[in-house]
Amino acid sequence: MNEQEFLEYVQSGGQVETTDWMPDDYRAKLIKFIEMHGNSELMGVLPEREWILRAPTLQRKLALTAKVQDEVGHSQLIYRVVEDLGKPRERCLDDLISGKAKFHNVFHYPTRTWGDVGVIAWLVDAAAIISQKALLKCSYAPYARIMKKICWEESFHILHGRDVILTLMNGTGDQRELVQESLNRWWGPLMQFHGNPIAKEEDPMYVWRIKSQGNEEARQQFLDGYVPQIWELGLTVPDPKLRKNDEGIWEYSEPDWDELRHVVTGHGPKTEERLDLRRTARENSAWVRKAVLAEAA
Amino acid sequence: MNEEVQRTLLEIADDELILGWRDSEWTGVAPLLEEDVAFSSIAQNEIGHARALYELVARAQGTTADALAFDRSPDEYRCAPLVELRLMDWAETIARHYLYEEADAKRLEQLKQLDDPEIAGLAAKIDREEAYHRIHAQMWFDRLQDEPRFIEALEKLRPQAETLLDSTKRGEHTPELTDLWEEMTMVRRSQPVGTTW
């Protein structure tokens, strides 16, 4: 099989296994894409973990710990897929903390209130599951397979997030305000989440069928699924232009693509602090990994 | 349920709550991803045990598990100093884990012998989960037993572990408990008592 035949194969729905031949460019794109996913799961832990310690009931604390634990578990699974493609986990982690590798825009922002805990679990995870469901058909079969488990767990996170939000919206005025204020801050990053609306035929990740839908398609799906629910709860979306037109397409103010570029290249409000935390944690525990590896050898 | 039994259950529940809280400080930053997942599980188990024990006491006292867990002042907690310490060093965390599980096993054996079938049943249920914690603690003990920093941590913490089994030595708290309590209750305290979360 040559590169052109491979391309035709994946574009007609064919899937590839680890030991199958694949073009170097495809392998490189896969590693880049899947590694960023693994990094995002791992960095996504940090905005939420601080709130495990502040969860206001035993049930919430249990649910949030379980959620964050799931994310760590996902990163573990995902890095294993990257490892099989030729990049070991330790190198992924080194590239992450050195700032060389990227992670999703939403994990560069601060979590200021308990309202953020609900908005992240409900809406950020909702946006993420839309991207992840589109990976169930990924041309790289091992990645598509683990995505089943991941999507299944993510759907629980959304339920947990929705329950946090519903409880707050049925609570005191302060609690409702907490949600609205949080939604106001997160809306911009949420609209940027699925990326700029380049035509999918020009998106190399689509061309190789690593992902199966375009950016705008994913964003429309998010808006269609969640804006009505947000409105139904009595919340206001901070975009006066947001409406569904007669053709059923959501119209909205242009997301701030400069902000997205700035943030994902490592200049988000919390990027440095979070990478620092990972770096310190990794340095302080290097001796543990050394002890474990010595035992395994 | 007499007051002495209530106090014993509260001591254990407070230990489990505070230790579970401390364990969950490792969620997301443990030395290995596998250990991150494992320690988060242990944290959830401990919090789950605390909740079940609080529920028994809450019923006798006409309150709720959450009120017992969050709405008391720091000096009303009955936890032992060992679980209060902020130990963000893996050797110390594992040393505490090992010492705690050792003492907890003895304590659960005693509870399982009580005449009250509800308490004895709960203790047996908790013990079935703690059995896995003990295996985990033993695995790390075996792995680290020759590491000087682990030996040092065990020596440092062992005297504290003794208070776990001696009620008369409880009631004195470390300053770390106050800091923990401030953080643990900050969201809950931001609204009037009785607010639903």
Residue type, B49: H
Q: How many CB atoms lie within 10 A of CB B75?
A: 11
Closest alpha carbon within chain B to A42: B28
pLDDT tens readout for residues A161-173:
999 999 999 999 9
Q: How far apart are CA A51 and CA A54, in angstroms?
A: 5
Give the Cα separation of B58 and B50 in Å (integer).
12
> Which pLDDT score is estimated for B167?
85
CB A39 within 8 A of CB A92: yes
pLDDT tens digits, residue range B172-184?
A: 999 999 999 999 9
Using a CB-CB cut-off of 8 Å, the residues of chain B touching A107 are: none
Residue with tokens 């408990």: B177
Q: What is the rounded distance in angstroms from the CA atom of residue B78 to the CA atom of residue B57?
A: 13
Residue A128 φ/ψ region, left for φ over 0, alpha for ψ in the -120 to 50 degree band, beta for the rest: alpha
- Contact between B46 and A61 under an 8 Å Cβ cutoff? The reply is no
pLDDT digits (tens, 9 = 90+) for A208-257: 999 999 999 999 999 999 999 999 999 999 999 999 999 999 999 999 99
- B144 contacts in A (CB within 8 Å)? 291
**Chain B partners within 8 Å of A56 (Cβ):** 70, 185, 187-188, 197
When CB atoms are compared, the residue of A76, A89, A288 closest to B90 is A288
Planar angle of CA B161, B8, B185, nearest 5 degrees: 80
* CA distance to A236, B77, B86, per residue, from B174 (Å): 46, 12, 10
How far is residue A217's CA from residue A236's CA, in Å, rounded to a whole number? Answer: 23
Q: Please say whether the beta carbons of B80 and B104 come within 8 A.
A: no
- Spatial CA neighbour of A182 closest among A122, A265, A232: A122
| Residue B21 touches partner A, C-beta closer than 8 Å | yes
**Which tokens is B34 given?**
């596998």
Name chain B contacts of A51, Cβ cutoff 8 Å: 187
> Is-contact A126 A169, C-beta < 8 A?
no
Does A72 contact B65 at a Cβ distance shorter than 8 Å?
Answer: no
B149 neighbourhood in chain A, CB within 8 Å: 287
Higher pLDDT residue, B47 or A295?
A: B47
Nearest chain A Cα to B37, which residue?
Answer: A69
pLDDT value, residue A11: 97
pLDDT > 80? residue A297? no
Identify which of B29, B70, B192 has the shortest CB distance to residue A281: B29
B90-143 pLDDT per residue, tens? 999 999 999 999 999 999 999 999 999 999 999 999 999 999 999 999 999 999
**Predicted confidence (pLDDT) per residue in A240-250, tens digit:** 999 999 999 99
A55 and B187 within 8 Å at the Cβ level: the answer is yes
Q: What angle do CA B176, B178, B182 make, to 5 degrees?
A: 120
- What structural domains does chain B harbor? 3-189 (1.20.1260.10)
Alpha-carbon distances, residue A204 vs A35, A78, A131, A280 (angstroms): 16, 21, 16, 35
Token code pair at residue A92: 């992924």
- Give strand pairing partners of A243: A251
For chain A, list the domains and their CATH numbers.
3-296 (1.20.1260.10)
Q: How far is A215 from chain B (nearest CA, A)?
A: 29
Mean pLDDT value across residues A26-33: 98
